[in-house]
């Protein structure tokens, strides 16, 4: 009896303590808005971090070729990207976005935990984009967000909630959903590969390798400008301004605008070329009048040294030797720059008859002599200036350098006339700028869509039907502007890593090669958008680079790096989906106590 009584007393005490816990929990429970107010606040910082990582990984696709080919410096590309991204996101972007895309989900899920699911999706996507940017792997931000959303929905709704193959987009292949996204990874890059191969081969044969480069340039430059301007106009109408009335123009009006722009560009370029040719001819006539050419006499010609023919193997050997010497001298110079300055103190009785600099100059040192300076105290202003200089050198003014293997690969690539290559510079800057503008108007709203969903669910939770909230998520101007600033800051601070990878590690990029890849990327995106294919700019651009390399010389391409890119694209969906699913399951389905009031 005693044991049974003590057991009953213990059970009663346990029930009383549990009841007291429930009573305390019910007393401290606050209203819904007060309890979850921290989610939209923290989500704002998290969305900026996600945009930051997306800018470091996405924008180098637009400007990596321009910087790698030497047309723009990294600092100049940062300025252009900042202007284009913010303008595109703020003024040309969509003010509404359906993040629960019909390409992925069969129906809108319940909004009970969707706000928390969007928060988890942003965490998973930001982590993966940060890792990929650190490894210099161009994965797309939109694909990362889609993978994270799929992970959350799979955890809550199950496999049947995903649209695996149903076509709701009107694709000519009648394959949609998740299968359509995977299929676009193969079809769209192949389209850009074939287009870039054909375009660069045509440019190389008709212009770059022509024996009459000047005449070919005068004849072909107006059509090249006309076609480029027409493609850029089409790209702006179909992809660059989805939030304006341009997206609703009829096909006839679009054709008239594109053809008129192309004709005006051809006329303008023709006039400019005629004027430049006339000025050049006038300058050459003046030069020939001032300094007439002197004919070489037979005796002088016979005394001139004969040039010996050198085999390609000998040229390669000489080039490698020069690279080794350059690397050695470069390492010595960097070591000299990093070494502290020497300070010499002499006693009063030490009166050297010969200056110390004279003795040091006689030492067998190949490096430049370091001037002897007295040690002086560094002021606060100098410390701040030095700190700013280090930050600048490690961010938007970072040195884009390559290893010896990449330098040899660049040295073996075919070089074209410098004056002809420079003609492609303006076209390359123009195409890169329009690509950045379209990224700001299309991708930035997609990046900020999860936070827009969080904000709208929290704002309208008590006044609107939860299912109606999911129909269309409105993106306010300040949300799009926040995303534009975020992606710009990401490219400014951390974009140099992907710029170095895309601009030189894959292949040698000259202005003509870079323009061919960039131009065919835009043309392929227009075609893929018209036939309702899911589009990833990174996939399209890498496919265009491969096409240019096949038309150039496949031996000068880093095939191992390209294979790594493809592997990382496949891992993007797997990692983001798994990470989001694990975080969501851990935070939602962990053992807990439900208090009903």
pLDDT at 111 over 70: no
Average pLDDT value for the chain: 77
* Stronger pLDDT, 312 or 132, i.e. the higher one: 132
Sequence-distant (6+) residues with CB within 8 A of 567 are none
Rounded Cα gap, residues 495 and 129, in angstroms? 12
CB 42 within 8 A of CB 479: no
Residue 259 has what pLDDT?
93
The residue among 426, 417, 402 whose CA lies nearest residue 518 is 426
* Stronger pLDDT, 257 or 476, i.e. the higher one: 257
Among 69-78, 169-178, 284-293, 509-518, name the one with the lowest average pLDDT. Answer: 284-293
Rounded Cα gap, residues 186 and 181, in angstroms? 9
Rounded Cα gap, residues 249 and 111, in angstroms? 35
Rounded Cα gap, residues 126 and 490, in angstroms? 12
Residue 349 has what pLDDT?
39
* Stronger pLDDT, 275 or 570, i.e. the higher one: 570
Residue 454, both tokens: 């969080």
138 class by beta-carbon count within 10 Å (0-12 exposed, 13-18 middle, 19+ buried): buried
Element (DSSP H or E) covering residue 500: helix 496-500
**Residue 364 DSSP code:** -
Tally of CB atoms within 10 A around 582: 14
Per-residue pLDDT band for 46 (boundaries 50, 70, 90) equals very high
Tally of CB atoms within 10 A around 269: 17
The count of C-alpha atoms lying within 13 angstroms of the C-alpha of 343, restricted to the half-sphere facing its C-beta, is 4
Element (DSSP H or E) covering residue 252: helix 251-290
CB 72 within 8 A of CB 84: no
Task: Compute the residue count for the chain.
Answer: 597
Facing residues of 96 across strands?
474
Mean pLDDT of 373-400: 78
Rounded Cα gap, residues 367 and 361, in angstroms? 10
């Amino acid at each position: 009896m005693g044991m049974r009584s003590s057991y009953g007393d213990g059970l009663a005490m346990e029930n009383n303590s549990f009841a007291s816990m429930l009573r305390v929990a019910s007393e401290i429970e606050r209203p819904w808005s007060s309890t979850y107010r921290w989610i939209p606040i923290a989500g704002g910082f998290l969305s900026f971090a996600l945009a930051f990582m997306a800018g470091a990984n996405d924008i180098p696709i637009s400007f990596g070729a321009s910087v790698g080919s030497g047309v723009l410096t990294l600092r100049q590309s940062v300025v252009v990207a900042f202007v284009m991204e913010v303008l595109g996101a703020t003024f040309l972007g969509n003010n509404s976005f359906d993040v629960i895309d019909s390409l992925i989900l069969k129906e809108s899920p319940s909004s009970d935990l969707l706000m928390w699911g969007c928060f988890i999706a942003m965490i998973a996507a930001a982590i993966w984009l940060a890792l990929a940017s650190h490894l210099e792997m161009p994965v797309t931000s939109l694909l990362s967000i889609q993978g994270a959303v799929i992970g959350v929905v799979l955890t809550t709704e199950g496999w049947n909630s995903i649209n695996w193959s149903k076509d709701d987009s009107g694709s000519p292949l009648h394959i949609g959903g998740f299968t359509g996204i995977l299929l676009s990874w193969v079809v769209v890059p192949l389209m850009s590969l074939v287009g870039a191969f054909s375009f660069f081969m045509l440019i190389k044969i008709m212009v770059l390798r022509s024996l009459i480069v000047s005449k070919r340039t005068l004849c072909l430059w107006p059509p090249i400008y006309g076609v480029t301007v027409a493609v850029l106009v089409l790209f702006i109408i179909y992809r660059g301004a989805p939030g304006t009335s341009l997206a609703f123009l009829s096909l006839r009006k679009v054709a008239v605008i594109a053809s008129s722009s192309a004709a005006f560009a051809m006329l303008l370029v023709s006039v400019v070329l005629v004027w430049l040719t006339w000025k050049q001819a006038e300058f050459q006539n003046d030069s020939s009048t001032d300094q007439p050419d002197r004919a070489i006499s037979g005796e002088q010609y016979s005394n001139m040294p004969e040039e010996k023919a050198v085999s390609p193997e000998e040229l390669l050997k000489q080039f490698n030797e020069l690279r080794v010497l350059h690397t050695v001298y470069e390492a010595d110079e960097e070591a000299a720059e990093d070494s502290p300055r020497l300070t010499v103190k002499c006693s009063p009785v030490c009166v050297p008859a010969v200056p110390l600099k004279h003795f040091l100059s006689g030492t067998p040192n190949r490096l430049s002599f370091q001037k002897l300076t007295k040690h002086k105290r560094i002021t606060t202003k100098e410390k701040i200036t030095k700190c700013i200089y280090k930050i600048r050198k490690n961010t938007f003014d970072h040195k884009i350098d390559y290893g010896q293997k990449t330098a040899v690969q660049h040295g073996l690539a075919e070089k074209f006339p410098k004056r002809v290559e420079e003609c492609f510079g303006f076209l390359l800057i123009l195409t890169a700028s329009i690509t950045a503008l379209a990224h700001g108007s299309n991708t930035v709203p997609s990046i900020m869509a999860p936070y827009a969903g969080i904000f709208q669910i929290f704002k309208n939770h008590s006044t609107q039907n939860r299912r109606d909230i999911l129909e269309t998520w409105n993106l306010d101007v300040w949300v799009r502007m926040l995303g534009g600033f975020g992606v710009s800051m990401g490219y400014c601070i951390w974009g140099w890593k992907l710029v170095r990878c895309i601009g030189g590690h894959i292949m040698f990029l000259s202005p003509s090669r870079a323009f061919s890849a960039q131009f065919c990327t835009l043309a392929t995106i227009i075609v893929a958008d018209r036939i309702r294919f899911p589009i990833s700019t990174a996939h399209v651009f890498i496919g265009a680079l491969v096409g240019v390399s096949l038309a150039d010389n496949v031996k000068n391409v880093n095939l191992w790096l390209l294979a790594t890119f493809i592997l990382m694209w496949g891992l993007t969906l797997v990692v983001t989906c798994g990470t989001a699913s694990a975080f969501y399951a851990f935070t939602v389905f962990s053992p807990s106590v439900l208090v009903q009031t």
